[in-house]
Amino acid sequence: MPIVRVALNVPVDTLFDYQSDDATSHDIGQRACVPFGKKRVTGVILAVCTDTQIPIEKLKSVHSIFREIEPLAASLLELFQFCSQYYHHPLGMVIMNSLPALLRNNKPVRLKNTAPQPLMLSDLAKQISLDSIPARNRVARRLLAEFQAASVLTMQQIKQISPRATQLIPEWLQLGWISAQQTINSASGTLKIPVLTQEQTHAVTAITNEFDRFHTSLLHGVTGSGKTEVYLRIIEHALSLGQQSLVLIPEINLTPQLEAVFRARFPTVPLANLHSGRNDTERLTGWIQAQRGEAKIILGTRLAVFTPLPDLGLIIVDEEHDSSFKQQDGLRYSARDLAIFRARQADIPVVLGSATPSLESYFNALNNRYRHIRLTSRAVQAATLPDIQCIDTRIHKTPDGFTEPMIRALEKCLAEKRQSLVFINRRGYAPVLLCKACAWTARCQRCSSRLVVHLSDKKLSCHHCGHQENFPRACPQCGNQDIAPFGHGTQRIEETLITHFPSARILRIDRDSTRRKNAWQEILHAIHSHQVDILVGTQLLAKGHDFPNLSLVGILNADNSLYSTDFRASERLFAQLMQVAGRAGRANIPGHVLIQTEFPDHPLYHALQRHDYDASAQTLLAERKIAGFPPFVYQALLRAEAHGIKTVLEFLHRAKNLANPPQSIELFDPVPAPMLRLKGMERAHLLIQSHSRKPLQTFLTDWHRKIAALPHRKIRWALDIDPMDF
């Protein structure tokens, strides 16, 4: 009887053997429902064999193998294997958590045919003679005859020919006999395709000339330089070769605008949109369309890097510098780095796009590991980079968050009927609730953080764990009733602007205002149809958006990051400010950026005013080289948490004592995390680093096994490879 080895979603890095009556090698990559303890669970079959180290009488039998969809391809299983080994995470958890939620259930998937409707006969199939199809394939002959007679058929019409006719659709789509025909909007018929600039032409040529092999290109273009148009041209090239394109983006809120651009340019090309904003059925439908090769453009956030793509020809990682590509819990993977591995595996090009590349990518480009493609000017002919000025808040006071020059600039912008954006990267009304008598502040009981004031809800909220409390009437420490919000968040800034400009149409954009489904589409429509005068927003507005009528950007509280102990803080601040400044002046109107700061002479602000990413990056690289930080070293972090910090530190010291590192590996002492308490758990970590990736990985593999053998019932721990946050 065949033995199947199944990967399950359990925190043990091993496969589980089961007996099966009818399993064959074709079932590798299929889902299987199996008994595990007292319950049934679903996993993925990774091997079918005849031998096992478990006594046959103790082997349990598979309940069922689900064969209603195609099995996971060998190349995808290889990607999971690499991911498990590199990030030291159980293989079963890697595989199962990459699948849509409906594929993790203990039941078969019952979906209608996922091919987009209607379907159109290709020119190739129009030339095929019915006699070339064997007479015994009566359904195929009837289906082809109907297609040749009508050219376009809906799935309903295909079902009426024969219930079995729908089973031919995936194969015919793959053969290129039929294609999905979507309704072309009237706007797309008159869509004006822009003429490429000389730099854009060079970028497209450089990438498409070597489309048949792996290479990594860093598309480094200033904001508004037309990186999206370069993406469209190289996707067009992939489509002409019948290939699929995977486009990864960091945030859900970037999908509506990018999806609209893709659908306008390629109205008849099936597109799958994969992100957490889709419901389970929508996500599964898009996933299956991608797996069957029906969807030719796949747009998604970081989890989309695991999508099965049989005809993958191109990967694009937009805003590649964004830390959202790094998962911060569970499997702590970097979607950008896995995209590069997947492109190498498939021998296809991968394009990393950004106006402010990560220092790691920039360093690789300087060392010729990546091809460095520059776009130094804006794509719209009359558009220029915005003028950036600093307002010294030591001279100009900010009684309500705004200096007088900032208010005057907003007044002028309103008078000229142009849009402005006020950027403050802090949502809520105020970051602190303060008692002026005894200096008490409202703190979260579960985290080492203050509760944020949300005045409209009359709530105090923790932005780390979600804990909420009612607004106190008096100070719980001294009874003083004079407790007041301190500092500014988006809600307070919005309130101040309403006071200053009562007739202005003001729109606040943060995580609180975009929770509803389709909220982003409505917001973007309001902005583009000039229903908004002043935008108030957080980093959700900082990247990727194109607002043609936006001429002024005002930046508040930028200095906070300059005090950070995180060695990446300056890199992130520069990227964030350059990205948000790039929202201004993208069309025919000039852009202005005003930054309120106590440090107008800071080198970071000087580089920003000159739009000189290279100067800032080279300064930061020089500092990192001296300090021995990435990209000059490779790092890993052993993270641990428990209900008491003493327990955590004891565990980490025991783990360190187990290590026997070679000379090339440096282990630091365990230290409490900067935010000691999070979600009721106290945290600490231990840093490991090396100048070479390979010996670090070899050491971590052996050390991970030893740590796993330690008693750790009261401890949660994980290895974080290439950590982004400490």
The SS3 of residue 600 is coil
How does pLDDT run across 604-649, given as a tens digit for each residue?
999 999 999 999 999 999 999 999 999 999 999 999 999 999 999 9
Weakest-pLDDT range from 138-147, 239-248, 496-505, 701-710:
138-147
Check: CB of residue 66 under 8 Å from CB of residue 109. yes
- DSSP code for 582: T
What CA–CA distance (Å, rounded) separates 559 from 540?
A: 19
How does pLDDT run across 512-539, given as a tens digit for each residue?
777 766 677 778 778 888 889 999 988 8
Q: What pLDDT score does 188 carry?
A: 42
What CA–CA distance (Å, rounded) separates 108 from 391?
A: 62
Beta strand 349-354 with 312-318 is: parallel
pLDDT band at 688 (very low <50, low <70, confident <90, very high): very high
Cis peptide leading into residue 118 (ω within 30°): yes
The SS3 of residue 120 is strand
Contacts 24+ apart (CB under 8 A), 76-81: 76/29, 76/306, 76/308, 77/28, 77/29, 77/46, 78/345, 79/306, 79/338, 79/341, 79/342, 79/345, 80/306
Q: What pLDDT score does 138 carry?
A: 82
CA dist list (Å): 77 to 44, 89, 304, 307, 342: 10, 15, 15, 11, 11
Q: Which two tokens stand for residue 687?
A: 């840093």
The answer on pLDDT for 678 being more than 80 is yes
Distance of CA 31 to the CA centre of its chain: 26
Q: What pLDDT score does 711 carry?
A: 83
Chain mean pLDDT for the chain: 88
Query: 634-721 domain in CATH 1.10.3720.10?
Result: no
CA dist list (Å): 24 to 19, 68, 505: 12, 15, 65
Domain 188-375: top CATH class: alpha beta
Q: Which two tokens stand for residue 309?
A: 């793509």
The SS3 of residue 666 is strand
Instruction: Specify the CATH number for 387-430+487-623; select among 3.30.2270.10, 3.40.50.300, 3.30.70.3040, 3.40.50.2300.
Output: 3.40.50.300
Q: Is 483 exposed, middle or buried (0-12, 13-18, 19+ CB in 10 A)?
A: buried
What CA–CA distance (Å, rounded) separates 635 from 76?
A: 27
pLDDT band at 151 (very low <50, low <70, confident <90, very high): low
What CA–CA distance (Å, rounded) separates 378 from 200?
A: 10
How does pLDDT run across 208-250, given as a tens digit for each residue?
999 989 999 999 998 888 899 999 999 999 999 999 999 999 9
Domains 188-375 and 387-430+487-623 in one fold = yes
CATH domain 3-103 topology:
GIY-YIG endonuclease (3.40.1440)
What CA–CA distance (Å, rounded) separates 189 from 468?
A: 51
The answer on pLDDT for 457 being more than 80 is no
Q: What pLDDT score does 430 carry?
A: 82
Cis peptide leading into residue 631 (ω within 30°): yes
Nearest CA to 220 among 208, 210, 206, 209?
Answer: 206
What CA–CA distance (Å, rounded) separates 230 from 375?
A: 10
Nearest CA to 414 among 616, 238, 552?
Answer: 552
Q: What is the mean pLDDT of residues 125-147?
A: 82
Q: Which residue in the block uniquely carries the two structure tokens 């860093």?
A: 218
Q: What is the mean pLDDT of residues 174-192?
A: 58
Cα–Cα–Cα angle for 215, 205, 379, rounded to 5 degrees: 110
DSSP secondary structure string for all residues of 147-185: HHHHSEE-HHHHHHH-GGGGGGHHHHHHHTSEEE-PPPP
- DSSP code for 57: G
Beta strand 271-274 with 297-300 is: parallel
What CA–CA distance (Å, rounded) separates 422 from 512?
A: 17
- For the chain, the domains span 3-103, 119-181, 188-375, 387-430+487-623, 634-721
